[in-house]
Amino acid sequence: MNERDDRRREPGSGYIGASLPRANARRLLAGRAQYVDDIRLPRMAHAAFVRSPYAHARIVAIDAAAAARSPGVVRIVTAREVAAICRPYVGVLTHVAGMRSAPQYPLAIERACWQGEPVAAVIAETRAQAEDAAQQISVRWEELPAVTDAETALEAGTPVIHSELGSNLCFERVVDTGGVDEAFAGAAIVVEAEFHTARHTAVTLEPRAILADWNPGDGQLTVWHSTQVPYMMQWIIARHFGLEETRVRVIAPDVGGGFGLKIHTYGDEMAAVAAALLIGRPVKFVADRLESFTSDFHARGHRVRARMALSAAGEILGMDVDDRYGIGPYSGYPRGSANEGIHVSNLVGAAYRRGAYRAVSRAVFQNKPMYGQYRAVGHPIACMVGEGLADLAAAALGVDPAEFRRRNYLPAGGYPHRIAGGPVFESLSQHEALDRLLALMDYPGLRAGQGESRKRGIWRGIGFASVVENTSSSSATYGQGGASIAAQDACTIKLTATGGIAVAAGLTDTGQGTCAMLAQVAASAVGLPLERVKVVIGDTDATPYGGGNWGSRGAGIGGEAAWRAGRALRANVLSFVARLVESEASLLEVRDGVVVDAATGAVRMTLEEVARTAYFRTHQVPADFQPELTVTRSYAQKTYPGIFTNCIHASWLEVDIDTGFVRLIRHWVVDDCGTVINPLLAAEQIRGAVVQGIGAALFEQCLYGADGQLLNGSLADYLVPMAAELPDIVVGHTCTPTRTSELGARGTGEAGTAGASAAILNAVNDALRALGARVTTLPVTPERVLRALGRVG
């Protein structure tokens, strides 16, 4: 072995293996009669990050000399090295008036702005070696004042995180129909409350992960990524690293949970890509559970002051809402951190005739982890506030809470209906859903049982929550604001030579059953058994362009594209067979993979025979006819900004007034997702979403000290609901297909989360009402219950 070969085998060289037998390794180079001795493959390296221990601090100096000498270290990647090849990003949407944010780099250069922000990367042969070396990097910090309270973030004495912006305001949104002050002045009854929701994070089963492989020979970057949005990430990586989009391939295999967490740009992931480009080797990064708590995007965390004006007859005359929430030090990229505030300002009390309406939502920068979209973006906050006020109004009027809702729902015949703020409801089934819910839960029986329980000192409560949910968004959500996030989806369906179909779609599967849904839709559209369908998703080199999975768009957008592609392929098959058998396409059908006479069921050709004729026996095809047995169709919902659907929850629970603990007994949901494609998947989507709502209601909260330090950043302290805490969840449906598509499907993935926590909070307060206690902060912890009862100071 020559000296050069020995040198290439040194640690960190990027090559593996001993010399292979010459007979197995010979390879002709550029047509010359020369052969190489060895085939050497670049070995995967691993990334670990040095992160800020402070919520806000200046980086005075970084000493990485000891780390560079550590065993297995390939390279120490600095912030300035990454910045030299990666353009900064700014998370603003141009159609959100006044929204602003500072440029952000993958690694902090001069300042770290939240605890957990990455400042340097160690690339080593193993993850353990990278982590060990990261411990050897010495960073000299100058701690700076941290902005940690959203309430004081805009006050004159509060430090401004980004001085060039002039204040800590990211954006402010005002919705005002006019006449609000007059409505309250003339009201017979006014109810009001201040609501709080805690910051929390998604805690996906699979943490964030990325593997980037740069092949300089063909100028190709391949990225295996735990993401919900492969095409969005392809565009972001290409744009910010100066690559042609066609030279970036993003592969998102089965992803272990997303919930919106994996539709954002993360600095550590971008730095892993940068490292792969810098060292010319594959680089892998997987966020461990501990660093996930301070590096993953957070959500929720609102303070909302709201009031409702009512007539003596119980009609809602007006609503007034003031929302404040703190995001991270930057607005999330590329979707921004405004959508929670937009939905809150639009949707508080949106299930009802609200009368005059005013809402103000402000998002402020603070030195806490980044903040963005999480399942049912903003809807749980809006629902908690609106439904909390509805229960207060019903109590003030002496009206049953279910009856109050029925009286104030939007009228069944009043659609389409535009609400203040811009959203348009195509059609809702709220009255029907309420009737179905009350029957499922035996509401009169529960109320009777509640009264009997109280006589025995058992305090049980019933809570309702009506939800209107935005699904299947148009480009009005992101594209209109300049973000390259697809609102359309496409599907390609190919008839295989054996008579099956191969389906390629731009969606992804994060556990919600996307592949099953696409297979069912395609099989039904074409007319063949489900087992003859293969689905390919999550690969920008193998699928047509699409937006991935977010915002309950999978069935409504991607399913519609699959339906249209399948129907087009079916039509092409029938036209082809009609020419072959000298019939009319209208007289034929495809049933169970066989083309038959529609009237008699007589077999004309199997799909395998159709394919083999078109592909292999073209001499049998009429000279003037070309069969098209690979079809692509696209679909974008363009009629409304989003297709709203409705859902109603009920919670039945028991409060132990001695300990403050809440025991969930049963939970009911009636959802309208339009055409139900797979009843089992739809029901389990709702149940899973309800469980996340239970987490928000009773368990989950990111607790911070005044200095911005996360106090419960592990699963030992951050509580999530487990099986023992869960009640039976009963799911029912109403069905109002959307008229904007042929399939008629609406989204169903988020309605369970949107309403569960509001229903549980209302049920807790229903149990406590007779004791004169009320809770308006989530999660409803035992301490908060006891405090409301006056049993703790």
| pLDDT tens-digit readout, 228-257 | 999 999 999 999 999 999 999 999 989 999
Could you give the CA distance from residue 90 to residue 102 in angstroms, rounded to a whole number?
6
pLDDT given at position 535:
98
**For 49-99, what is each residue's pLDDT tens digit?**
999 999 999 999 999 999 999 999 999 999 999 999 999 999 999 999 999
**What is the strand order of the sheet 533-537 is part of?**
533-537, 501-505, 488-495, 630-636
* pLDDT at 8 exceeding the cut of 70: no
Could you give the CA distance from residue 228 to residue 374 in angstroms, rounded to a whole number?
12
* pLDDT at 30 exceeding the cut of 90: no
Give the C-alpha distances (Å, rounded to integers) separating 608 from 495, 501, 604, 605: 9, 10, 12, 8
The residues, any chain, with a CB within 8 Å of residue 751's CB and separated by 6 or more, are 376, 467, 469, 552, 645, 647, 669, 671, 673, 686, 689
pLDDT given at position 4:
35
Could you give the CA distance from residue 389 to residue 24 in angstroms, rounded to a whole number?
76
Q: Which amino acid is at 433?
A: A
Beta-bridge partner residues of 206: none
* pLDDT at 6 exceeding the cut of 60: no
pLDDT band at 791, cuts 50/70/90? very high
What's the mean pLDDT in 199-221? 96
Could you give the CA distance from residue 208 to residue 296 in angstroms, rounded to a whole number?
8
**For 114-142, what is each residue's pLDDT tens digit?**
999 999 999 999 999 999 999 999 999 99
What's the mean pLDDT in 272-278? 98
417-418 and 424-425 strand pairing = antiparallel
What tokens appear for 245 in the block? 């989009």
Check whether the bond before 216 is cis (ω within 30° of 0).
no
**For 648-667, what is each residue's pLDDT tens digit?**
999 999 999 999 999 999 99
Side-chain half-sphere CA neighbours of 470 within 13 A: 29
**For 754-763, what is each residue's pLDDT tens digit?**
999 999 999 9
CA-angle at 337, arms to 336 and 340, nearest 5°: 125
How many secondary structure helices (H) and strands (E) does the chain include? 20, 30
Helix (H, G, I), strand (E, B) or coil at 509: coil
**For 470-518, what is each residue's pLDDT tens digit?**
999 999 999 999 999 999 999 999 999 999 999 999 999 999 999 999 9
The residues, any chain, with a CB within 8 Å of residue 463's CB and separated by 6 or more, are 391, 649, 650, 651, 653, 758, 759, 760, 761, 762, 763, 764, 765, 766
Do you know the residue count of the chain? 793
pLDDT band at 42, cuts 50/70/90? confident
What's the mean pLDDT in 676-685? 97
E strands in 96-183: 111-112, 118-124, 138-143, 169-176
* pLDDT at 469 exceeding the cut of 60: yes
* pLDDT at 13 exceeding the cut of 50: no
Separation of first and last alpha carbons in the chain: 78
* pLDDT at 28 exceeding the cut of 60: no
pLDDT given at position 652:
98
Q: pLDDT > 70: what percent of the chain?
A: 95
What's the mean pLDDT in 14-22? 34
Q: SS3 string of 176-195?
A: ECCCHHHHHHCCCEEEEEEE
The residues, any chain, with a CB within 8 Å of residue 456's CB and separated by 6 or more, are none
The residues, any chain, with a CB within 8 Å of residue 554's CB and separated by 6 or more, are 507, 512, 514, 517, 747, 749
**For 130-181, what is each residue's pLDDT tens digit?**
999 999 999 999 999 999 999 999 999 999 999 999 999 999 999 999 999 9
What's the mean pLDDT in 538-556? 97
- Residue among 550, 689, 699 at smallest CA distance from 200: 699
* pLDDT at 36 exceeding the cut of 80: no
**For 348-395, what is each residue's pLDDT tens digit?**
999 999 999 999 999 999 999 999 999 999 999 999 999 999 999 999
pLDDT given at position 41:
65
Q: Which amino acid is at 597?
A: D
For 202, left (φ over 0), alpha (ψ -120 to 50), or beta? alpha
* Cβ neighbours, 10 Å, residue 36: 13
pLDDT given at position 40:
58
Could you give the CA distance from residue 588 to residue 353 in angstroms, rounded to a whole number?
51
Could you give the CA distance from residue 280 to residue 274 in angstroms, rounded to a whole number?
10
| More reliable by pLDDT, 35 or 504 | 504
Q: What's phi and psi for 70, nearest 5 deg?
A: -70, 150
CA-angle at 337, arms to 331 and 338, nearest 5°: 125
pTM exceeding the 0.85 threshold for the entire prediction = yes
What's the mean pLDDT in 7-13? 34
Name the residue with tokens 């809602």: 316
Q: Are 390 and 195 in contact (CB under 8 A)?
A: no
DSSP annotation string for 697-748: III----B-TTS-BS--STTTS----GGGPPEEEEEEE----TTSSS-B---
* pLDDT at 15 exceeding the cut of 60: no
What's the mean pLDDT in 701-709? 97
pLDDT given at position 23:
37
pLDDT band at 793, cuts 50/70/90? confident
Helix (H, G, I), strand (E, B) or coil at 646: strand
Could you give the CA distance from residue 510 to residue 566 in angstroms, rounded to a whole number?
24
The rounded radius of gyration (Å) of the Cα atoms in the chain is: 29
Name the residue with tokens 């050897």: 136
DSSP state of 546: B
Could you give the CA distance from residue 623 to residue 626 in angstroms, rounded to a whole number?
8
The mean of the pLDDT values for the chain is: 94
Q: pLDDT > 90: what percent of the chain?
A: 94
pLDDT band at 792, cuts 50/70/90? confident
* pLDDT at 606 exceeding the cut of 90: yes
**What is the strand order of the sheet 459-471 is part of?**
459-471, 643-655, 662-672, 728-734
What's the mean pLDDT in 106-112? 98
**For 687-701, what is each residue's pLDDT tens digit?**
999 999 999 999 999
**What is the strand order of the sheet 302-310 is part of?**
169-176, 356-364, 316-326, 302-310, 189-196
Could you give the CA distance from residue 319 to residue 349 in angstroms, rounded to a whole number?
8
pLDDT band at 3, cuts 50/70/90? very low
pLDDT given at position 38:
46
Could you give the CA distance from residue 537 to residue 503 in angstroms, rounded to a whole number?
8
**For 44-57, what is each residue's pLDDT tens digit?**
999 999 999 999 99
Q: Are 284 and 144 in contact (CB under 8 A)?
A: no
